[in-house]
Amino acid sequence: MVTLRLDGVGVSYGRRRVLEGITTPVLAGGEVVAVVGPNAAGKSSLFRRIAGLIAGVGEVAIEGRSPVAGRSRPSACYLPQDTAVNAVLTVYESILLAFKQGGSWSVSDDELKRIDTVLRELEIEDLAFRGLGELSGGQRQLVSIAQTLAREPDILLLDEPTSALDLHRQFEVLSLVQRLARERGMLVLISIHDLNQALRFADRVMVLARSRLVALGAPREIVTPALLADVYGVRARVEVLEGELPYVVVEGAAGRAA
Ligand SMILES: Nc1ncnc2c1ncn2[C@@H]1O[C@H](COP(=O)(O)OP(=O)(O)OP(=O)(O)O)[C@@H](O)[C@H]1O
With 0-12 / 13-18 / 19 or more C-beta atoms within 10 angstroms meaning exposed / middle / buried, residue 176 is: middle
Helix 167-184 × helix 137-150 angle, to 10°: 0
Separation CA 3–CA 170 (nearest Å): 27
Average pLDDT, the chain: 91
C-alpha 19 to ligand 1 mean position (Å): 10
pLDDT-derived band at 98 (thresholds 50, 70, 90) equals confident
Percentage, residues of the chain above pLDDT 90? 74
- The response to whether residue 13 sits with its C-beta less than 6 Å from ligand 1 reads yes
Evaluate if residue 102 carries a pLDDT over 70.
Answer: no
| pLDDT tens digits, one per residue of 105-137 | 777 888 889 899 999 999 999 999 999 989 998
Radius of gyration of the chain (CA): 19
Give one word for 67, left, alpha or beta, with left for phi > 0 and alpha for psi -120 to 50.
alpha
Q: What SS3 state is found at 117?
A: helix
Query: Nearest residue CA, atom 8 of ligand 1?
Result: 45
Evaluate if residue 69 carries a pLDDT over 80.
Answer: no
pLDDT of residue 103: 63
Mean pLDDT, residues 4-33: 97
| pLDDT tens digits, one per residue of 196-223 | 999 999 999 999 999 999 999 999 999 9
Separation CA 17–CA 63 (nearest Å): 27
**Sequence letter at residue 116:** D
With 0-12 / 13-18 / 19 or more C-beta atoms within 10 angstroms meaning exposed / middle / buried, residue 191 is: buried
Mean pLDDT, residues 180-189: 94
Question: So what's the ipTM on this one?
Answer: 0.98
Domains delineated in the chain: 1-75+153-223 (3.40.50.300), 84-152 (no CATH)
pLDDT-derived band at 235 (thresholds 50, 70, 90) equals very high
The pTM assigned to this predicted structure is 0.93
Mean pLDDT, residues 71-95: 83
In a mutational test of the pocket of ligand 1, which residue from 20, 35, 39, 44 has the highest number of ligand atoms less than 8 Å from its CB?
44
The least confident of 18-27, 44-53, 241-250 is: 241-250
- The response to whether residue 40 sits with its C-beta less than 6 Å from ligand 1 reads yes
Contact 9, 58 (CB under 8 A): yes
- The response to whether residue 44 sits with its C-beta less than 6 Å from ligand 1 reads yes
Listed residue (234, 240, 237, 233) closest to 249, CA to CA: 237
Query: Nearest residue CA, atom 7 of ligand 1?
Result: 13
Cα 117-122-124 angle, rounded to 5 deg = 90
C-alpha 110 to ligand 1 mean position (Å): 39
